Amino acid sequence: MKKLLLLNILLWALQHTICGQTQAADKTQECWEKYDQKTLQLNALQLRSKLITDSLNTLIETLRTNTEHLTKRINRLSGDSAKYQPKIKIINNLEERTKHAEELSANLINDTTGNGFRKLSLIKKTDSINALLAKVNDLTKTSTELEGFKSANNKQLADLKSFYDVSFADLLKITSLDRLKNDSQVFTTLAKETDIPQTLNDLLLFKQAELLLSNKHNKATIESAIKTLQPIINREGTKQLVKLLNDYESLTKNVISTFNQIEKGNVLKAGKTPDLINGKKDKVLRAIEDCVYDNNIDLTRYVYLNQVITAVKKKKMKDVDDDIQEIIHQLETVN
C-alpha cells in the first residue's frame, strides 16, 4: 500500500514537471512573436522617417530656389522702376483731369446764377450741330454715290437700247436666249417696264419657241409656242419658224420610217469581207441622206433630229450590223 502511494506521488510530480516545461516553451514562443512584431514596426518607422526627411529636403531646396528667383525679380524691378515713371505721370495726369471734370460738374450743379447751365446748353447745341453736319456730310456722300450709280445705269441702259436698235434679223444672228434673258432682267431692274424695247420681248418669244427644235417633239408645247408667235408673225424669220414647228412631227415620223428600213436590211448580215461591209455602210448613209434631202430637213435648225441622225451614223459606221432599235423607240415615243 505504501509502495502504491509512493508511486502515485512520483507520477504526479512527473506530470507537474512536464506541464511546467510546456508552459515555459509556450511563453518563449510568444516572446519571439512579440519581438518579430516590434522589429517590423521599427523598420516601418525607420522607412517613414526616411521618406519624411527626403520630402523636407526637397521642400527646403524648392524654397531656396524660389527665394533666389524672387530676389532677382525684386532687384530687376528696382532697376527698371525709372521706365515706369512716364506712365505713372500719365496716370496722375488723368486722375487730375478727372478730378477737374468732377469739380466742373459740381460747379454747374451748384451754380445759382444760371451761367453754368447756359454754357452747358450751348455745349449741347454745339454737339447737336456737329452731329447734324456729320449727317449732312454722310447724305452728301451717299447722294454723290447714287449719282454715280445713276450715271452708270443710264449709260448701261443707253448702250442696251442702242444694241437693240438694229434689224430683227441681225439680232437673231448675234443674240442667244441667255443673253436676252439677262438683258431683260437688266431693263426690269434699271428701267420702267414700258422702257423695255419691244424688240427684246419679241426676240425672247422667238428664241424660246426655237429652243423646242432642240428637244424631242412635244405636240402640246409646240402648239402653244405657235400661238405665242402670232403677235410677231410679221417679224423676219417668224413665219419660217412656225413652219419648222408645224413640220416637226411629220419629219420625225419620216426619220423613224427610214431607220426602220435600215433595220430591215440589217436582217442580212454584212459578212466578214471588207467589200460587203463597206457596201452595206454606203447603203445606210445613202438612205439617211436621201431622207434628209427628200424631206428638206434643215439639220442646223432641227437640232434634236441632227443629234439622233448623227448617233445612228456613228453606230452604223462602227458596226454596220449593230442594232438601232433603242434609238427608234426613243423617237417613236412622240409626245
Closest CA to 334 of 215, 229, 226: 215
As given in the structure block, the three cell numbers for residue 66 are 524660389
> Does 15 map to a domain?
no
Given a contact cutoff of 8 angstroms between Cβ atoms, the answer to whether 258 and 234 are in contact is no
> Does 284 map to a domain?
yes
Instruction: Compute the average pLDDT of residues 74-84.
Output: 49
> In sequence order, which ranges of the chain are alpha helices (DSSP H)?
2-79, 85-110, 115-163, 168-174, 177-190, 198-210, 219-228, 238-265, 274-294, 303-318, 325-332
Residue 277's domain spans which residues?
Answer: 168-332
> Does 108 map to a domain?
no
pLDDT range class, residue 77, cuts 50, 70, 90? very low
208 pLDDT higher than 90: yes
What pLDDT score was predicted for residue 12?
A: 61
Q: Determine the straight-line distance between the first and last CA of the chain, rounded to whole angstroms.
A: 149
What Å distances lie between residue 5 and 9, 14, 19, CA to CA?
6, 14, 21
The residue that leads in pLDDT, 149 or 286, is 286
Q: If you average pLDDT over every residue of the chain, what do you get?
A: 76
Closest CA to 299 of 308, 257, 287: 308
> Does 81 map to a domain?
no
Q: Tell me the C-alpha distance between 330 and 322, whole Å.
A: 17
Q: Tell me the C-alpha distance between 115 and 109, whole Å.
A: 11
Instruction: Compute the average pLDDT of residues 212-235.
Output: 96
Q: Per the structure, how many domains does the chain have?
A: 1
> Does 103 map to a domain?
no
Note the pTM of the prediction, 2 decimals: 0.55
What pLDDT score was predicted for residue 159?
A: 86
What pLDDT score was predicted for residue 69?
A: 61
What pLDDT score was predicted for residue 98?
A: 53
Instruction: Compute the average pLDDT of residues 148-177.
Output: 84
Compute CA 31 distance to the chain's CA centroid, rounded to the nearest angstrom: 86
